[in-house]
Structure 1
Amino acid sequence: MGFLELIWAYFVNNFLTQPAYFIGLLVIIGYMLMKKPFHESCAGFIKAVVGYKILTVGSGGLSSTFKPIIAALQDKFNLSAIVLDTYMGQAAAQSALEAAGKSFSQAMLLLLFAFVFNLLLVKFQKYTKMRAVFTTGHIQTQQATIAFWFIFTCFPQLGDWPLMLIMSVLLGLYWAVGSNLTVEVAQNLTDGAGFCVAHQQMFGIAIWSAIGYKFFKGKDGKVKRLEDYELPGWLSIFNEDMVSTALLMTLFFAVILLVLGKDYLVSAGMLGEGKSFLFYILDTSLAFAVYLSILKLGVRTFVGELTASFQGIQSKLLPGAIVGVDCAAGYGFGSENAVTFGFMFGALGQFLAIIGLILFKSPVLAIAGFVPVFFDNATIAIYVNAKAGAKAAMVTTFFSGILQVVCSVIAAMAFTYNGIGVVEFGGYMAMFDWAVIWPIFTFIMKYLSYIGVAIVILVLVMIPQLQYKKDPEGYFLCVSDYEAYKEHMKKKEAAAL
């Protein structure tokens, strides 16, 4: 048993929680199953790993540049609150578990069982109707930790193994069902690139896309996306994404940095003594466009290899499966300005919600973290814009921002054990699914006990069945042959008219 644990620990530490190498592993396995020459398989592995690392340089640069600015607002105004951030949320949940006598290794065991269950659900997709494999390892680590805490607070007296069984089924179902919900919108956005979303806002993407399309589509069923707008005169400079991103972020962050003030930035070590405040604002704001461009380069580098190689896994191991990847993989497709607009409108929603918490004297305040306010809302905007248009992308991300704050505060206060919760450790996940969807699941289980578990499982199981029932002919075709799927959809639309 000890030897198997060592093997699993090695795999977790070097592959599963290192998404660049996990994606590279999938690529090389896929190419070998396709019987590609060894040198081509190795080349694919290298391009996939390097591409993903380029993506992480871009996303890491965004976080490292702008996180201190958000944190400075907390320090400047002496706010005591939970930080809405994925890594702070994971650390808070891990600390709460340890305070309750549980260990991080148990959360990693949950990750293993849930991932295996995800694979089984896809393997038997003829019955389950689940097509997507969740492969984003660092996200799985975060989610296994917070899901462990949520479910533990519902059944604290349950033995370790019965509790692990319930957790594994629920988390594995969430990964399979959530990523499966994004298959059609991801294929629509990327024109059949062959991946879906495996991240923190899978239900959010599906829900907001459906709501946006319902309320913002034209009478003919068509939508006007951001890329369809051609701005006249001097406004035409906003037609180029790099320019529009730089200008909008300069405006956005100039307001925040002016509120903080030059003296504070110098005292905090963010601005050097004697350095120009104006050029600090410009450098900081333009960095957004730089890192976003790097991120998109990474996407273009690894997605092609992953898509091509996953055909081998589809044909030999998991017929009809599609790979779920990091949300940032979608940023290289669709409107190049959707990311910026999603971030801005989501941030506006979050900031207004935080002001509301202060005005209504909430017992727990929240501080906006960069990861949820950017990656969550930018991702939702990308997919909603492609499905439902520009107006829908702006409106839905605004309301998403509000829900991320309000629901996170409610969940952080509600789910405790012996008076201990994540509030005491200062963080919460705050991404859409973990601010809205999982708290709903947890409330159902907390107050209905095992009947609640059965209800949540039934709801998750039924979602892909209802998706399939809506379009039995096109459901699997969307994954196996996207060009044929597009023809199928054209015929459906023509028949509807």
Structure 2
Amino acid sequence: MDILMRAWSYFATNILQQPAWMIGLIVLIGYILLKKPWYDVLGGTIKAVVGYMILAAGSGGLVSNFRPVLVGLKDRFNLDAMVIDPYFGQNAVTAGLEEVFGKPFSQVMMLLLIAFIINILLVRFSKVTKLRSLFTTGHIQVQQASTAYWLILFALPGLATNNTALLVVMAIVLGLYWAVGSNLTIKPTQELTDGAGFCLGHQQIMGVALFSWIAGKMHERDVKKGKEASKKLEDIELPGFMSIFNENMVCTAILMTVFFGAILLVLGRDYLTEAGFMKEGQSFLFYILTVCLNFAVYLAILQLGVRTFVTELTNSFQGIANKWLPGSVPAVDCAVSYGFGSPNAVPIGFLAGALGQFIAIGALILLKSPVLVIAGFVPVFFDNATIAVYANNKGGLKAALILPFISGLCQVFGSALIAGWVGMAAYGGYLGMWDWAVVWPVFTVLMKYLSYAGLAIVIVALLAIPQLQYRADKEGYFLMTEDWEAYKELKAKKAE
């Protein structure tokens, strides 16, 4: 048993939690199962790993580029507040789990293992469960397992006396969430990417599904009322000097310069120099320009990474789907969606979501909330940019502006309520992304106040969602992932 635990720990640390290597392993296994020549297997695996590393470099650069703003707003205005960010949230669990509940953080890794096995089993028996997506983003799974462990233990403290029961119950809920939430993003992702063969496995999967549906309804309402439907961003050709915004790189650079430039000016040269962000004697103007234009650089790097590994992943996954998990697709990082649809949806969604977050934070300050929130870059960017990409695809520019703004409000208000209630705010952070600011607080309330009846409601509701999806489109449901072109033909015939 000890040998097995050491093997699992090694795998979890070096592969499962390192998404580049996890993606590489999936591609390797997939191509082997497809009986590709060894040199194709090797080449495809290297492209997948390197591609994901490029994507990670772009994502990491975006986060680090935001650091002066995040740290500056906290220090400059003496805000003692909780940061909504997955890494701050994971740190809060690490710091407080043993102190609050007397449980070691190592149990989180056991939860991750059991929940991942449950996700695999749910997909393996897809003809019964109607679930078709395997969550493959290990770093996201660690963050979610950490927060889920705290929330479920808070809601059902009676389980604390039996570690086996505790882990099994938690794993069922978390494994179902991974399978059901990512499964909900299959249709909008296939529509966005024209059948690229993946879905989302991230922190806002149910939010993406909900907002995609709302964006579609907004479009349908406009059409029924005889209004001109809101154009998609990629279909808008701006006239005159505004035509420069048709170019994604220029649009991102200008919008970020206006937004972040204003914040950096407020923080001031003296603070930025004292904090070590600027060098002594460095030009303040060119520091601001460099920081702001770096956002365009990192987005371009991120999109290059997407193009490099997505083809390898989706092609190789057919081997796994054909042999072990028929009809399934991999659930991947939300940033992969940025290579599809309108690139300008990314900065627009970020800015709309940031506006929503800042208004909500201002409301918390005015209302003298016992829990104050500082915006973390990961939720404000990756949630809202992703929602905008999907919303634009279904409902155009109007949806891409309105829905990320609403998301920003939800992230702050929901995180402040749940983190303050369960005690995570005292440790300085909460995961803070859409599903964990809206969906998981609902789960926690049901389980806290209805106890095991609430737990049963959560599990039954999650199991029912894919059944309802299947009943709504029995002919096309599995065809959607097995043969996208045939699915489109089916839809075209039904529309005639």
User: 2:327 touches 2:482 (CA, 8 Å); kept in 1?
Assistant: yes
The aligned residue for residue 467 of structure 1 is 469
CA distance in 2, matches of 1:16, 1:31: 19
- How many residue pairs get aligned? The number is 489
CA distance in 1, matches of 2:207, 2:94: 25
CA distance in 1, matches of 2:298, 2:233: 21
Check if 1:198 corresponds to 2:163. no
Instruction: Spell out, residue by residue over 1:28-79, the C-alpha distance to the aligned partner (whole angstroms, 9 max, x if none).
Output: 1000000001111011110000000000000000111112312211100000
CA distance in 1, matches of 2:164, 2:58: 40
Where 2:199 maps in the other structure, the secondary structure is strand
Check if 1:207 corresponds to 2:210. yes
The aligned residue for residue 363 of structure 1 is 370
Q: How does 1:173-322 map to 2 (within 5 A)?
A: 173-217=176-220, 218-219=222-223, 224-322=231-329
Q: Which region of structure 1 is more displaced relative to structure 2, 139-148 or 263-272? A: 263-272
The aligned residue for residue 438 of structure 1 is 440
Q: How does 1:55-204 map to 2 (within 5 A)?
A: 55-99=55-99, 100-158=101-159, 159-204=162-207
Instruction: Spell out, residue by residue over 1:207-256, the C-alpha distance to the aligned partner (whole angstroms, 9 max, x if none).
Output: 11111221244316965211111111111100010010001111011111
CA distance in 1, matches of 2:370, 2:50: 46
User: 2:420 touches 2:426 (CA, 8 Å); kept in 1?
Assistant: no
CA distance in 1, matches of 2:331, 2:322: 17
Q: How far is the alpha carbon of 1:424 from its aligned partner?
A: 1.6
CA distance in 2, matches of 1:177, 1:240: 37
The aligned residue for residue 15 of structure 1 is 15
Q: How far is the alpha carbon of 1:103 from its aligned partner?
A: 1.3
User: 1:216 touches 1:391 (CA, 8 Å); kept in 2?
Assistant: no
Identity over aligned pairs, percent: 60
User: 2:82 touches 2:430 (CA, 8 Å); kept in 1?
Assistant: yes
Flag structure 2 segments of 5+ consecutive residues without an equivalent.
none
Instruction: Spell out, residue by residue over 1:398-441, the C-alpha distance to the aligned partner (whole angstroms, 9 max, x if none).
Output: 010001000000001112xxxxx211210010000001100100
Q: How far is the alpha carbon of 1:22 from its aligned partner?
A: 0.6
Q: How far is the alpha carbon of 1:139 from its aligned partner?
A: 0.3
CA distance in 1, matches of 2:450, 2:230: 42
Q: How far is the alpha carbon of 1:157 from its aligned partner?
A: 2.7
CA distance in 1, matches of 2:139, 2:284: 37
Where 1:474 maps in the other structure, the secondary structure is coil
The aligned residue for residue 422 of structure 1 is 424
The aligned residue for residue 344 of structure 2 is 337
Check if 1:483 corresponds to 2:485. yes
CA distance in 2, matches of 1:441, 1:268: 41
Flag structure 1 segments of 5+ consecutive residues without an equivalent.
416-420
User: 2:68 touches 2:272 (CA, 8 Å); kept in 1?
Assistant: no
Where 1:199 maps in the other structure, the secondary structure is coil
CA distance in 1, matches of 2:466, 2:173: 15
Instruction: Spell out, residue by residue over 1:446-493, the C-alpha distance to the aligned partner (whole angstroms, 9 max, x if none).
Output: 000000000000110011111111111111111001111112222233
Partner amino acid for 1:109? M
Where 2:475 maps in the other structure, the secondary structure is helix
Where 2:331 maps in the other structure, the secondary structure is strand
Partner amino acid for 2:127? K
The aligned residue for residue 2 of structure 2 is 2
The aligned residue for residue 418 of structure 1 is none
CA distance in 1, matches of 2:325, 2:394: 28
Q: 1:12 to 1:26 in 2, by over 3 A?
A: same
Check if 1:400 corresponds to 2:407. yes
CA distance in 2, matches of 1:48, 1:171: 27
User: 1:67 touches 1:369 (CA, 8 Å); kept in 2?
Assistant: no
Where 1:192 maps in the other structure, the secondary structure is coil
Instruction: Spell out, residue by residue over 1:128-187, the C-alpha distance to the aligned partner (whole angstroms, 9 max, x if none).
Output: 000000000000000001000000001223221111111010000000000000000111
Partner amino acid for 2:111? L
User: 1:181 touches 1:202 (CA, 8 Å); kept in 2?
Assistant: yes
Where 1:323 maps in the other structure, the secondary structure is strand
Partner amino acid for 2:135? F
Partner amino acid for 1:254? G
Where 1:83 maps in the other structure, the secondary structure is strand
Where 1:133 maps in the other structure, the secondary structure is strand
User: 2:83 touches 2:375 (CA, 8 Å); kept in 1?
Assistant: yes
Q: How far is the alpha carbon of 1:275 from its aligned partner?
A: 1.4
Q: CA RMSD in A?
A: 1.1
Q: 1:117 to 1:261 in 2, by over 3 A?
A: same
Partner amino acid for 2:131? M
Instruction: Spell out, residue by residue over 1:324-369, the C-alpha distance to the aligned partner (whole angstroms, 9 max, x if none).
Output: 0011111111001011001000000000000000011101100001
Where 1:475 maps in the other structure, the secondary structure is coil
User: 1:96 touches 1:149 (CA, 8 Å); kept in 2?
Assistant: no
CA distance in 1, matches of 2:230, 2:459: 35
Match of residue 383, structure 2, among 370, 376, 380: 376
The aligned residue for residue 36 of structure 1 is 36
CA distance in 2, matches of 1:237, 1:331: 20
Q: Which region of structure 1 is more displaced relative to structure 2, 61-70 or 456-465? A: 61-70
CA distance in 2, matches of 1:238, 1:423: 40
User: 2:137 touches 2:201 (CA, 8 Å); kept in 1?
Assistant: yes
